[in-house]
Amino acid sequence: MPPLRDPNRLALKIWSYLRGVVIGGLLGGTLLVVNLLQTLSLVVKPFSGQTFRRLNRFAANTWWGWCVLAFERVYGFELKVSGDAIPMRENAVVFANHQQMTDIILLLSLARSRDRLGDIKWFVKHPIKFVPGVGWGMVFLDAVFVKRDWAADRQSIAKTFAHLTDNHVPLWLILFPEGTRFAPHKLGRSHSYALEHGLHAPDHTLLPRVKGFVASMHGLRQHADAVYDVTIIYKNGVPTLWQYLRGFVDSAELHVRRYPMSELPQDDAVLSKWLYERFADKDRLLGHTYPSLQVSRESRSRPALSFGQPQATPANQPDSP
């Protein structure tokens, strides 16, 4: 998946730069105002947790909605969605491949179309909670902050999911199981792990880290109705957020598979294997989209993926790279 190239025309570059600064400044400035309103919502929290959540849902729905509308109306961006039909206002766990920050905008657009924009919850790296704007806002939205220390994260994740379930909080929990953005130079560790454990060795994704996903399935099994497997595809090259703000991205595609929660396995090892299989499917789909970008395999063979019983890949092993 190559990066998106900027246009060569100088006049277009200058115009796009100015437009990016204006749109980025407006969105950034209004986000800080939204943070202030979220802070004021703390006044009602001791009296009504439900009202507190409604106010923050409205804040998130409003600002994220502005982000989506900016790209759709100002830049004429078109999001193409294929695959399974997604019901309106369904509680779901959503996982996707991760290539750039712009992936988030696409998922926001999908959520907005299903009336779940203000109900998004994220798996987020712990330091982000201290970042003004996006980080501060997520503190009010029941985001799952993780430190990459499973001993510490397990208890925090379980507590957050119990709170969401007990209070019947509407949600789309979104996670990127790869744990980082894809880049070709990161494939080495995924290939080594795949060969060692008899897994599909990917070209266009990294192997998923299974622990967060397995914990999500256990913690939200009684609350979420389905799991959405989303593959993000940029046919014209993977854009940066700055290229997005400058209006260089005219379209992208999401391929969505919906799996009822009741049909997913409950055993940790089988569930882990299920996630590996979904990422193998993603890799093959992206391979068909980018047939000329297959990674050279000079020194290794590619093991076949078994879709039967799980191989010896216990969920309590260290996560894949």
CATH number at residue 275: 3.40.1130
What value does the mean pLDDT of the chain take?
88
User: pLDDT at position 42, please?
Assistant: 96
pLDDT (tens digit per residue) in 234-274: 988 899 999 989 998 889 999 999 999 999 999 999 999 99
pLDDT (tens digit per residue) in 37-67: 999 999 999 999 999 999 999 999 999 999 9
**How many domains does the structure of the chain reveal?**
1
128 inside domain? yes
320 inside domain? no
Asked if the model's pLDDT at residue 317 lies above 50, the reply is: no
4 inside domain? no
166 inside domain? yes
pTM (global) more than 0.85: yes
300 inside domain? no
Asked if the model's pLDDT at residue 318 lies above 60, the reply is: no
306 inside domain? no
- The percent of residues in the chain predicted with pLDDT above 70, rounded, is 89
What's the domain range around 70? 10-293
Contact by Cβ (8 Å): 113, 94: no
3 inside domain? no
215 inside domain? yes
